[in-house]
Amino acid sequence: MDMFATNCTAVDWAIVGVYLAGIVVLGLVVNRYVHSVADYMVAGRSAGTALNVATFLATGLCLVTVMYSGMEGFNKGFAYMIVGVMGMAFGLFLGSTGFVVRKLRAAKLTTLPEYFQQRYSRRVRVAAGVICALAGILNMGLFPKMGATFITYATGLGTTGEAAAVTAAEKTADTSAPKAAAPSVAPSAAAQKADEARKAAIAKRELTVNIVMTVIIAIALLYTVTGGMVAVIVTDYVQFVLLALGLGIGLYFCLTSPQLGWDKIAATWQASRGEAAFNPVYPGSYGWFWVAWQGIHFGAAALCWAPEASRTLTAKDPETARKTFLYGSPGQFIRLAIPALFGIAAFAFVAHHADMAKHFRGMVLRDEGTGADQAMPLVLGKLVPAGLLGLMMAGMVSALMSTHDSYFLCWASVITRDIIAPLRRRELTDKQQIRITRIIIVAIGAFLLVWGLWYKLPASVWNYMAVTGSVYLCGALVVLVGGMYWKRASSAGALAALIGGLASVPIVFLPKWFTDSTVLMGQCGIANYAVCVLLFIVFSWLFPDKKQPATQEARP
């Protein structure tokens, strides 16, 4: 049997197909409830607590979250789950105090950068809009590719007959080469043919991933463009339910499989990596700098990352916004911990299967990465039985769709409301804003397709996400919190801090040895936050605002 074969059958594909068709129809049907730009962008600010929690968690738990957490789990072990613990702690803090989120909802905003116009100036709003959209779209760049990779390997679409082809190539070379005459030629010819067979198989799998990626983008675009935030919220609810089911099924089979189980998984990691697999600050694991950076980063993302912050804005009142964070806090742990456990279990599974261990060890030796992106979905596809695999896949595809739609709408809304509208002399009508937003959503979809085809997956997708997020979050966190709680905060300080966040852009393009180092990444991440704080304070002191900031609601 091919190593890349899984338990996926026609029944599983039918379940996924029914789900996808249903979600598109649902998205199209709710279009008739969209009457204004507020309906389109923030669902009329009418979402209750339970619905807001569902959509908040569905947005935060994308298939790319499952992938990068699974990859970190596969590469680093239990230690990665410290990020989930910090996320849950921060969610509890925001939910119990209402810090920032209550004030944001009370301001009746449509997008977060609108606050920057209320508190500072129009220039700050436009600058925040540009940087927010740049960071967000770059951050989203790997979503479709990662999602497509998961689907390809979990469903067995990655089956290419690679093992058989490599073995056949080796046999042919063995029989055709005159062993006695030229003993050194035979292994070289065999290796060459096997290498060619392997490269052909990799190319075939790449093509499959790219086709799946194109289909994913097309479906998400279709219902987001038509239904806006109403479609996003309703489909997010359905996706939340399916997602919980998918995570539950995956977790159950990882922990109850006779080959795995908690004790066996822990013992495998203990034997392989020792304490570094469990202790995040132990030498060989992440280290203090990385952990501290992630702590700050998680807080910043919860407050300022537009797709999640927009859940503060869709809540029907400030109290609902606060409760969303409080009740959603276990989800902040789960969204990283369960996928990490998938990766952790996949490592133990691979370690006990000689053919898989050989394949993934070969990837490391050829400097092709650890293969974590293939291993986790592949092992899930092998562990979960047919029928249930379809349900789990529907849950995972839900995770993919729920984040794509929210992100599409969010970044397009920011570009329309915070860049185009403020720069125009005449006010845009609701219809114009919705039309422009729809065009931008399609443009973002086109960009994602090109970026996904061109950009190679880094070893740590999590670091890529964190760095691209930093471009906006470093400055925005300082400007948002400083604006709310420091009277001397000025527009000049805000602009300087936002521009300071751009220091993270070059990191995306740095060589692999740098981006793979958690110590260097942690140091850079913390330094960028520190630079933004410094710029904000110094420029606010040197260039205070001449008049008091306006208190009325911002208008585009």
Partner 1 sequence: MSGWITFWKWACIVGVGSYFALVLVVIPFGAADIVRLFRDLGRGGSERK
Footprint of partner 1 on this chain (CB under 8 A)? Answer: 30, 33-36, 39, 43-44, 46-54, 78, 81, 84-85, 88, 230, 233-234, 237, 240-241, 244, 248, 251, 262, 266, 270, 274-275, 278-279, 327-328, 330-331, 333-334, 337-338, 341
| Residues near 462 by beta carbon (within 8 Å), at least 6 away in sequence | 68, 69, 71, 72
Quick one: 194 or 249, whose CB is closer to partner 1?
Answer: 249
In angstroms, what is the minimal distance from the CB of 342 to partner 1? 12
98 close to 318: Cβ distance less than 8 angstroms = yes
**Closest-CA residue to 312 (of 93, 537, 55):** 55
- Distance (Å, whole) CA 310 – CA 206: 35
In angstroms, what is the minimal distance from the CB of 339 to partner 1? 12
In angstroms, what is the minimal distance from the CB of 31 to partner 1? 11
Quick one: 253 or 360, whose CB is closer to partner 1?
Answer: 253
In angstroms, what is the minimal distance from the CB of 481 to partner 1? 27
Quick one: 78 or 120, whose CB is closer to partner 1?
Answer: 78
Quick one: 9 or 279, whose CB is closer to partner 1?
Answer: 279
447 close to 140: Cβ distance less than 8 angstroms = no
Cα torsion 450, 451, 455, 459: sign: negative
- Distance (Å, whole) CA 98 – CA 86: 18
Quick one: 52 or 160, whose CB is closer to partner 1?
Answer: 52
Neighbours of 120 (CB within 10 A): 24
- Strand partners for 315: 47
In angstroms, what is the minimal distance from the CB of 285 to partner 1? 11
In angstroms, what is the minimal distance from the CB of 85 to partner 1? 6
- Strand partners for 47: 315
Quick one: 216 or 384, whose CB is closer to partner 1?
Answer: 384
- Strand partners for 160: none
Quickly tell me which residue has 């394949």 as its tokens: 359
Quick one: 194 or 383, whose CB is closer to partner 1?
Answer: 383
Q: Which two tokens stand for residue 145?
A: 């590719």
| Residues near 364 by beta carbon (within 8 Å), at least 6 away in sequence | 370, 371
- Distance (Å, whole) CA 313 – CA 104: 7
In angstroms, what is the minimal distance from the CB of 244 to partner 1? 4
- Distance (Å, whole) CA 251 – CA 23: 25
